[in-house]
Amino acid sequence: MAPIRQVQITFDCASPSRVAYFWCEVLGYVVPPPPEGFATWGDYDLSLPPEKRDAGFVCQDPSGVGPRMYFQRVPEGKVVKNRVHLCVRVGTGLVGEERLAALEAECARLVPLGAVRLRLLLADEENESCLVMQDIEGNEFCLD
C-alpha cells in the first residue's frame, strides 16, 4: 500500500465561506483562484442555484505543505464538543512565561477575528500550557 501524502480536513458548518476566511486569517492560508470564467468566488456563487450557494468552500496552505481545508454547509448546528480539533502551534519550543506570552499574543490577534477564548490550561508534569478557544461557529481549537 502506498503511503498517504496529503490530508484534507473537513469542517461541517453553517457558512462555509465565512468559516474558511476565518481559518485563512488564523493559519495564513489562501483561497484558491475561482473557476475559469469567473473573476471572483462571489461571481461563481451567484451563478449557482440559490440552494447551492455557499454550500462548500476551500482554503489551502500557500506553500502546499499544510493540509487543505474544506468547509461544507450542513443544516444542523454544533451541539457538543468536537471529537477532533486543530492545534495551532504558536508556542512550539517555548516554555514557562515565554510560552504563555506567545499564546496570549496569538489569542489577542484572533479574538477580533471572531474567535472566543475558553480557558487556559497551565503546564503540568506531562503537558505544556495551551489555550482552548472556539472559532466563529463554536468549533474548539487550541493554541499550543
7-26 pLDDT tens trace: 899 999 999 999 999 999 99
- Ranges of each domain in the chain: 8-73, 86-143
Q: Is the pLDDT of residue 104 over 90?
A: yes
CA 32 to chain CA mean position, Å: 16
26-85 pLDDT tens trace: 999 999 999 999 999 999 999 999 999 999 999 999 999 999 999 999 998 888 888 889
Q: In what order do the strands lie in the sheet with 116-121?
A: 86-88, 140-143, 130-134, 116-121
